[in-house]
A and B are shown apart, each in its own frame.
Chain A
Amino acid sequence: MNSLFEYTLRLGDDSLMIGHRLSEWCGHGPILEEDIAMTNIALDFVGQATSLLELAGKFEGKGRSGDDLAFLRFDRDYKNVLLVEQPNVDFGVTMMRQFLFDAYRKPLFERLQYASNKEIAAIAEKSLKETKYHLRHSSEWVIRLGDGTEESHTRIQEALDNLWRYTGELFYSDDVDKELIAAGEIPSMDGLEKEWRQTVNEVLAEATLKIPESDWQFDGGRKGMHSEHLGYILTELQYMQRAYPGLEW
């Protein structure tokens, strides 16, 4: 297995899918200001996906471009975590999903910016600035919705209860990352989960939300085994390139 390709693909697919999910809010935000904020953030992620998938294609060495990877793979070939493909449902669910993901992305990019692999390091360094703002934005909302009205509290607690079982997969580790760490391409991920958990504990405590007691966790996304939601995303995402191959505008 080409670990550099696989690892970069995982990062790129995470950005692509959560960016796509956020873009679904375009024109549907609860208020104009938030509509613009979510669309801005969606574009940050699509930008990251562009750089990461382009790089993945280079690592693969088979002449596939970032666009080829984004638009012309089958569902089993996408390696994003299940969390990022979960549906928006409502603003609370979207913000909770975003928060759980941003809290992982920040310490991840903080490590990857020092990767010996200069291309991964450069993308991580640029993305880290965006991610810090994303985390600030989603944390603020989780706190306000959790510690808001009775209805907002109930709904975002429910979002947390439903999404919690997708968070274990954020720290999925296999031969792909182990090989890159051993080869010195990327730094060690020691303490990543602990840092994530600390952010999560702090923000959820301030939001007066309770972490579910069940430790049962889904995984499969990193191996290409997805929830049914990915198919629907791909139908929309790939339609244009499938219907009009090579279309550009």
Chain B
Amino acid sequence: MSNKEWPLWEVFIRSKQGLNHKHVGSLRAADEEMAIDNARDVYTRRSEGISIWVVLSSNVFASDPSEAPELYEPSDSKIYRHPTFYDVPDEIQHM
């Protein structure tokens, strides 16, 4: 008997309201079709979605957490990138 584990898949679900597929979790499956079936059973049982993407986790290249300071911290001091430095005319009531 083989004890080899099935590959890991990342699951993305598009909800009825949303336009984008959102990452919801991961699961194991032998191939892409079974991954879709498993994702349907694991992640859409409560009508969470109308479309599923699965991606082999090994195909996801992630940023290195140890590089977080140089990658993300510089933007913390650039508050001018947020559009909050202008006055909204009174006539515009809802922004």
Contact = CB atoms under 8 A, between A and B. Distances in A.
Interface of A: 31-34, 36-37, 40, 133, 136-137, 140, 144, 149, 151
B80 interface: no
Range class of the B interface residue count: 10 to 19
Contacts, number: 31
A144 B34 CA distance: 10
B67 interface: no
Contact of A149 (B2, B28, B45): B2
The 9 closest A-B pairs by CB, nearest first: A33-B38, A37-B41, A36-B41, A33-B27, A40-B41, A36-B42, A33-B42, A137-B37, A40-B45
Contacts of B2: 149
Nearest to B30: A144
A32 B30 CA distance: 13
A33 B41 contact: yes
A40 B28 CA distance: 18
Given A33-B28, A33-B38, 16 more contacts: A31-B6, A32-B28, A33-B27, A33-B29, A33-B41, A36-B41, A37-B37, A37-B38, A133-B40, A137-B37, A140-B33, A140-B37, A144-B30, A144-B34, A149-B2, A151-B1
B45 A34 contact: no
Contacts of B29: 33
Interface in B9-36: 27-30, 33-34
Interface centre among B27, B41, B42, B45 (most CB of A within 10 A): B41
Contacts of B45: 36, 40
Contacts of B33: 140
Nearest to B33: A140
Contacts of A144: 30, 34
A92 B41 CA distance: 19
Contacts of B41: 33, 36-37, 40
B34 A140 contact: yes
Contacts of B34: 140, 144
Contacts of A31: 6, 28
B24 to A, nearest CB: 14
Contacts of A136: 37
B49 to A, nearest CB: 15
Contacts of B6: 31
Nearest to B41: A37
30 contacts: A31-B6, A31-B28, A32-B27, A32-B28, A33-B27, A33-B28, A33-B29, A33-B38, A33-B41, A33-B42, A34-B38, A36-B38, A36-B41, A36-B42, A36-B45, A37-B37, A37-B38, A37-B41, A37-B42, A40-B41, A40-B45, A133-B40, A136-B37, A140-B33, A140-B34, A140-B37, A144-B30, A144-B34, A149-B2, A151-B1
Interface in B50-81: none
A226 B15 CA distance: 46
A40 B42 CA distance: 9
A58 to B, nearest CB: 29
